[in-house]
Amino acid sequence: MANRTIDAIIASFNNLLAEMDFQKISVEMIIQDAGVSRSTFYRHFQDKYEVMNANFKNLFDYYVAPERSSNYQELYSQLFAHVQNNIKMFRRALASTGFNCFNNFVYEYSYESALNITRMNRGGKGFTPVEALQVGVFCSGICTVFHRLTEPSDQLNADDAAGALFEMMPESLKNYWWADNLDL
């Protein structure tokens, strides 16, 4: 039941974001569209930012799954194609501001995902200090690509963006992926 409720809230948020700017969306609008009570909403989410970020987490986790991607370049090629197919929604999400904004979440979740993949491949050990800096720049690059892909005048495409971003990935981490896809 909880998953259906969460899915309904996220779907409602997506419906609203497809029609209006993020700033204009209220929790009241989300709960009305989802058909849930205020207490049900707050049982699952703190605010509309958390709904937006859960939405991205679900999307990222869908594409990062080993059956869909076998490396970072494939992951970002698929994710960026999704962005290009939903430009209005992503443009509106990227316009959010504040600590909990979409841009910050994309950076943090991408960094944590790369760290988890690295730890799994290194028996629990994370990044070296230099790799931590490099991955930070790489994750900032992900955010930059999101912004570029949503600019109407930009000619960047998903595959070119993913290839360029992959080249920025630290060489020592490029071949790491989930355990069942490793050739170690």
**Cα separations (Å) of 110 from 84, 89, 128, 141, 143?**
19, 19, 17, 11, 10
Question: Rounded to whole angstroms, how far apart are CA atoms 45 and 52?
Answer: 10
Question: Rounded to whole angstroms, how far apart are CA atoms 25 and 42?
Answer: 16
Distance of CA 55 to the CA centre of its chain: 8
**Amino acid 66: pLDDT:** 87
- Angle at alpha carbon of residue 130, lines to 129 and 133, rounded to 5°: 90
Share of the chain above pLDDT 70, in %: 96
Question: Rounded to whole angstroms, how far apart are CA atoms 155 and 157?
Answer: 6
Q: For residue 126, is pLDDT > 90?
A: yes
Cα-Cα end-to-end distance for the chain = 41
pLDDT digit string, tens, across residues 134-178:
999 999 999 999 999 998 887 889 999 999 999 999 999 998 887
pLDDT digit string, tens, across residues 11-68:
999 999 999 999 999 999 999 999 999 999 999 999 999 999 999 999 999 999 888 9
What is the pTM assigned to this prediction?
Answer: 0.89
Q: What is the CA radius of gyration of the chain?
A: 17
